[in-house]
Amino acid sequence: MIQREVLPNGIRIVTENITYVQSVALGIWVGVGARDEADNLRGVSHVIEHMLFKGTPSRSAQEIADQIDSVGGDINAFTSKENTCYHVRILSEHVPLALDILTDIFLNSIVDPEELGREQNVILEEIKRRDDEPDDLVHDLFAETLWPKHVLGKSVIGTPETVSSFKSKDLKDYMATRYTPDTIVVSAAGNLNHDEIVAMVTERFGHLTGKKSDWREPDTDPKFEAGTSYIEKSIEQVNLVLGAPGFSQLSEDKYKLSILDNILGGSMSSRLFQEIREKRGLAYSIGSYSQSYREGGYFGVYSGTSAATAEQVIDLVKAEFVNVRKNNITEKELDRAKNQFRGGVVMSQESMNSRMMRMGRNELVYDRVLPIEEVMGKITAVTCEDVAQVAEHLFGRDAYAMATVGPRLKASRNGTGKKAEKSGAKSEKAAK
């Protein structure tokens, strides 16, 4: 059973008690991410995430790690474009320790200038690693190409210039302004006691004040721009993403898109996988994905293929876009996609960490946890006609954004495109 509590200052607590397990996944979520950063602060949320593990007045960085490891737990964090999450998995009897550590680093981190300097070097190395991984880099280059004038097109990790410029005061001021109670959600799943968690969170967080409306700019729809960006690298494969605008997390059409996504490239039985990899042998990696935020979303197809076959792959992908728009999907494909969705949802419920993550994200987006039955009902209700409408929305204009990393394609493809040698791209999630 999922239980929910809202503290007087606006902090939300959601828990799910699962009595047949012996562990708990616990997370402190903040509805603050790369989307909220000004140009001179690109990457600051990710730097804060790193620094909160570097010591408090009562625990050194080593002691934080030792105390979790000594009871068999696991602690980590991640930053995305809209959220930051500090989370731990622990045996049930150690929930008080886990929550004490999480709240300690959240409220009391020192952000020592010398330690910050070392961690900035670590993140600069992380940026270099990203630059050496084209299958990571290309996805955010695609987002930057699709939404060049919107904050959602910007990177999570920032740039070497911005990351190097931050001082301890910048991080502290940013947290003091933006980590307001109404942006904070504590979520937990596993063998737990809801009332005990509420009491502990109230004791530690009940004094916090402030409101998101004091600092956050209103949501704005990202404006799509068709175009091509490329980063030329002397590597064996062209890594490419081709796609179009999709739907916001708040749109009911996202459920219809999830069905189309599955049929086009979301599984081994999908059209693109079967046509491009299995029948033609043109690529090892080929698949589609959709990404949704509060303000908008997009759909993309990713592939890694040789320079000699990249243009053929692009043509085949576009041909399938036309095919699905003109001829729609079959009832058999629709049923298969629904069953795959259901299987994925059911199997994810076997993980306490997945349950905790789902509740935290739901609270930040919808201000409630969507019941599984509600989500499945919306998927079950999708028809072939619904999918046809989504396909028309995505592909009807025949206007796409494309990003490539690797050998440069010929002029007809992206020679006139935007060269992005120093992209700030980073995959959607930047982990500690």
Catalytic residue list? 49
Rounded Cα distance between 73 and 92, Å, is 10
Q: Which residues is 120 bridged to in the sheet?
A: none
Classified as helix, coil or strand, 224 is coil
Farthest-apart Cα atoms in the chain, separation: 64
Spatial CA neighbour of 48 closest among 62, 32, 61, 60: 32
Residue 74 near residue 89, CB atoms below 8 Å: yes
Instruction: Classify burial at 217, counting beta carbons within 10 Å of its beta carbon; exposed 0-12, middle 13-18, buried 19 or more.
Output: exposed
Cβ-contact 225, 403 below 8 angstroms: no
Q: What contacts 137, CB < 8 A, 6 or more positions away?
A: 130, 131, 231, 239, 405, 423, 425
Nearest partner of 192 among 68, 363, 20, judged by Cα: 20
Residue entry with tokens 């500090």: 86
Answer for the pair 272, 301: CB distance below 8 angstroms, yes or no: yes
3-state secondary structure of 17: strand
Q: What CA–CA distance (Å, rounded) separates 76 from 54?
A: 12
The residues, any chain, with a CB within 8 Å of residue 297's CB and separated by 6 or more, are: 245, 246, 247, 248, 249, 251, 254, 257, 290, 291
Contacting residues for 72 by C-beta, under 8 A, at least 6 apart: 90, 91
Which DSSP state fits 60? B
